[in-house]
Amino acid sequence: MLIVIALGGNALLKRGEPLTVENQRAHTKVATQSIAEVIAAGHQVIITHGNGPQVGLLALQGAAYKPDEAYPLDVLGAETEGMIGYLIEQELENALPAGQQVVMLLTQVEVDPNDSAFSDPSKPVGPIYTKEEADSLATKRGWTVAADGDHFRRVVASPKPISIPDIPVIELLLTHGIIVICAGGGGIPIVRQPDGSTMGVEAVIDKDRASALLAEKLGADMLLMLTDVDAVYENWGTPKQMPIRQISAKTVSKLPLAKGSMQPKVEAACDFANATGGHAGIGTLSDALKIVEGAAGTIISKHVPLM
């Protein structure tokens, strides 16, 4: 099968952990070893990744230096795509047999400049804060903040991806058997001008939505979203919570889910399943092959039975 594997930013850097390269490399090694198992099982993969913690950290560092000269989010997105993509590329090469070619591609992703998300920020970025810290930063820096579990984080605009101009390049690389790492952090957000030219825009695209669009346009058989939660849960956060192993897109779309975390993953899964008839899986980094085989995580399909 052709599988698009989306690695969550919070899976590559655990919540509350120091945002060090050493921590990110350690988690990346776990992820790439898991991906190597999927490849060894005979599947062709394309890898995407999140960047929420990392892009938020870079934004903080820039603002601390000279706030009026801070780089915009599209440039920071490109920086994190290169940084995280490099770690994934190197660790995946180390985990695979010698000679397997891997490439990281900086990927522009087009969004609609009139998307309502620009007036309703929802994408969590950066480190976690207490409510008091978050309120103080919101006042001081003009941020929008929102709850993220028991903590708070900055949230930014997350417009829907509508086009990936680099699809022909990715297809060419796949034709030659090259493993592609692309659309990192949801891709670099761009908008198209009336004359056909493009320019970056202040936003962070949700990587699961971008991954679903990528998987659809490439004709992938499966979209696999790996995160720090082992499955989609019914009654999450209550004594009655239960993991869901298999479910239809229609049924799962009716469940109440956390906005900004599990909700966009499930929406991306439903979009992909409904558009292609393929399967979408959600689970932890270490369970990649088990999820593909239907033995772990949550599998979402247009219809049930699934696999």
- Catalytically active residues, by annotation: 9-10, 123, 207, 265
Tokens, residue 250: 């229609």
User: SS3 letters for the chain?
Assistant: CEEEEEECHHHHCCCCCCCCHHHHHHHHHHHHHHHHHHHHCCCEEEEEECCHHHHHHHHHHHHHHCHHHCCCHHHHHHHHHHHHHHHHHHHHHHHCCCCCCEEECCCEEEECCCCHHHHCCCEEEEEEECHHHHHHHHHHHCCEEEEECCEEEEEECCCCEEECCCHHHHHHHHHCCCEEECCHHHCEEEEECCCCCEEECCCCCCHHHHHHHHHHHHCCCEEEEEECCCCEEECCCCCCCEEECEEEHHHHCCCCCCCCCHHHHHHHHHHHHHHHCCEEEEEEHHHHHHHHCCCCCEEEECCCCCC
Report in angstroms the alpha-carbon separations of 148 from 143, 182, 211, 233, 261.
15, 27, 22, 17, 8
Contacts of 209 (CB under 8 A, 6+ apart): 160, 161, 186, 264, 267, 268, 271
Sheet order of strands, 298-301 included: 102-104, 179-181, 44-49, 2-7, 222-227, 279-284, 298-301, 246-248
